[in-house]
């Protein structure tokens, strides 16, 4: 087994250190900064991505906004709160983390140690996510009655969280327990989080895998080569409808057709208790250049019109279970009553 010897997010020596995921898997380059606009742009440009990781980075950023004392801490805090809230509209963890930091700020606004208090809260959010990832991995073991081939979409591992991951941590934990034989990794167009990031993590962990095009999943299911599909989530409505990386709904529909279990893995902080159903979820749209080019190299004409939602919504009735840090939830889902 190869050790996952890399850090995704770290706060040290007064600066936030972020592994730049846009350079993976070819280069492990770290951004080290206390510039808030650099941090906001890192979220927007997917240098850091994954709902839990975005929330953790935003929490550290809000602490950093008060690192240098000034005349109007409320103005500075609110300025950066609004800036960070505008970076990614779909991931509920971002808004959850910002709200947690806001509550601590308002409670301690008169304290001379306000920065240290906010930093402590950000570190708590980070530590809690590490523990949540561990619990998700353990709770996911119950879905494996025998060793299976797994298919996953996008990246849901250490790169997407503060800990070892959500869906990918379920896969890793099950592999180490002898319950996963092989992993098929959707390349995850258009930004290739599967072929770049999930493959990077599986290689580090010593887990056998193959990258597939997103459109290959159906054939593999038809051939009986997929035993279970596990993905993450960026927002879960209280009825179980789930927003995740574009292409997730395709997999869920294919699983329903081929009678293959389809599971979501995410912390309870991903459940939006103000969102009753999936149609209420705001879907982020990305720039057309992410479709018309790959890593800056054009693959078609830039003037062509592009339709590029970053996420889709999988209906609850297509989901076999939602693996959280609390437990494995099974249908019918109603998180308000739980």
- Cis-peptide, bond into residue 158, ω within 30° of zero: no
State whether residue 97 is helix, strand or coil.
helix
Do 107 and 168 belong together in one domain?
no
Do 93 and 42 belong together in one domain?
yes
Do 317 and 201 belong together in one domain?
yes
Q: Using CB atoms within 10 Å of the CB of residue 169, give its burial: 0 to 12 exposed, 13 to 18 middle, 19+ buried.
A: buried
CB-CB contact of 42 with 241 (8 Å): no
**Active-site residue, selected from the candidate residues 116, 186, 214, 234:** 234
Catalytic annotation present for 71: no
Percentage of the chain lying above the pLDDT 70 cut: 98
Instruction: Tell me: pLDDT of 150 over 50.
Output: yes
Cβ neighbours, 10 Å, residue 213: 13
Instruction: Tell me: pLDDT of 289 over 60.
Output: yes
Q: How far apart are CA 114 and CA 31, in angstroms?
A: 25
For residues 262-269, give the mean pLDDT.
Answer: 94
Residue 131 vs residue 270, higher pLDDT: 131
Query: Residue 3: inside a domain, yes or no?
Result: no
Query: Residue 104: inside a domain, yes or no?
Result: yes
Exposure class string for 41-79: b at 16+ Cβ within 10 A, else e: ebbeebbbbbbbbbbbbbbbbbbbbbeeeeeebeebbee
pTM of the model: 0.89
Cβ neighbours, 10 Å, residue 159: 25
For residues 211-224, give the mean pLDDT.
Answer: 98
Do 67 and 213 belong together in one domain?
no
Query: Residue 2: inside a domain, yes or no?
Result: no
Do 204 and 305 belong together in one domain?
yes
Task: From 195, 270, 264, 197, select the one nearest 228 (Cα to Cα).
Answer: 264
Q: Six-digit token pair at 108?
A: 């301690």
Do 324 and 208 belong together in one domain?
yes
Would you state the pLDDT for residue 334?
A: 86
Query: Residue 1: inside a domain, yes or no?
Result: no
Would you state the pLDDT for residue 338?
A: 61
Q: Is the dihedral of CA 96, 98, 102, 104 positive or negative?
A: positive
Query: Residue 305: inside a domain, yes or no?
Result: yes
Do 110 and 151 belong together in one domain?
no
Do 160 and 228 belong together in one domain?
yes
pLDDT in tens, 296-324: 899 999 999 999 999 999 999 999 999 99
Do 13 and 35 belong together in one domain?
yes
Q: What does pLDDT average to over the chain?
A: 94
CB-CB contact of 244 with 264 (8 Å): yes
The domain containing residue 115 runs over which residues? Answer: 9-134
Do 18 and 84 belong together in one domain?
yes
How many domains is the chain partitioned into structurally?
A: 2
Do 65 and 177 belong together in one domain?
no
Q: Six-digit token pair at 181?
A: 């034989």
Last residue in a domain, options 103, 118, 134 = 134
Do 284 and 324 belong together in one domain?
yes
Q: Six-digit token pair at 50?
A: 């994954």
Rg over CA atoms, the chain? 20
| Confidence tier at 4 by pLDDT (50, 70, 90) | low
Query: Residue 75: inside a domain, yes or no?
Result: yes
Would you state the pLDDT for residue 3?
A: 46
Q: How far apart are CA 311 and CA 333, in angstroms?
A: 21
Q: How many CA atoms lie within 13 A of 246 on its CB side?
A: 14
Q: Six-digit token pair at 114?
A: 């306000």
Would you state the pLDDT for residue 1?
A: 35
């Amino acid at each position: 087994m190869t050790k996952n010897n890399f850090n995704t997010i770290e706060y040290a020596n007064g600066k936030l250190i972020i592994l730049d995921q846009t350079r993976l898997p070819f280069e492990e380059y770290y951004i080290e900064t206390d510039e808030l606009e650099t941090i906001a742009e890192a979220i927007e440009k997917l240098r850091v991505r994954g709902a839990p990781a975005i929330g953790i980075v935003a929490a550290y950023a809000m602490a950093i906004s008060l690192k240098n004392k000034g005349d109007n801490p409320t103005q500075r805090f609110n300025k950066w709160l609004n800036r960070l809230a505008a970076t990614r509209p779909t991931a509920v963890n971002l808004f959850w983390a910002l709200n947690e930091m806001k509550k601590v700020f308002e409670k301690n606004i008169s304290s001379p140690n306000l920065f240290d208090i906010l930093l402590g809260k950000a570190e708590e959010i980070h530590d809690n996510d590490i523990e949540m990832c561990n619990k998700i991995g353990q709770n996911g073991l119950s879905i494996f009655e025998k060793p299976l081939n797994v298919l996953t979409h996008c990246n849901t591992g250490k790169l997407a969280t503060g800990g070892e991951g959500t869906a990918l941590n379920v896969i890793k934990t099950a592999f180490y327990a002898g319950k996963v034989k092989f992993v098929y990794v959707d390349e995850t167009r258009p930004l290739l989080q599967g072929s770049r990031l999930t493959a990077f993590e599986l290689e580090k962990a010593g887990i056998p895998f193959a990258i597939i095009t997103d459109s290959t999943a159906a054939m593999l299911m038809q051939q009986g080569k997929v035993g279970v599909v596990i993905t993450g989530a960026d927002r879960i409505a209280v009825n179980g409808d789930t927003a995740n990386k574009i292409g997730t709904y395709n997999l869920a529909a294919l699983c329903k057709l081929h009678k293959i279990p389809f599971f979501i893995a995410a912390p309870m902080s991903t459940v939006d208790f103000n969102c009753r159903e999936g149609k209420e979820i705001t879907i982020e749209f990305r720039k057309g250049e992410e479709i018309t080019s790959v890593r800056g190299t054009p693959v078609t004409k830039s003037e062509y019109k592009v339709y590029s939602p970053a996420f889709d919504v999988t209906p609850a009735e297509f989901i076999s279970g939602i693996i959280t840090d609390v437990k494995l939830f099974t249908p019918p889902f109603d998180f308000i009553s739980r």
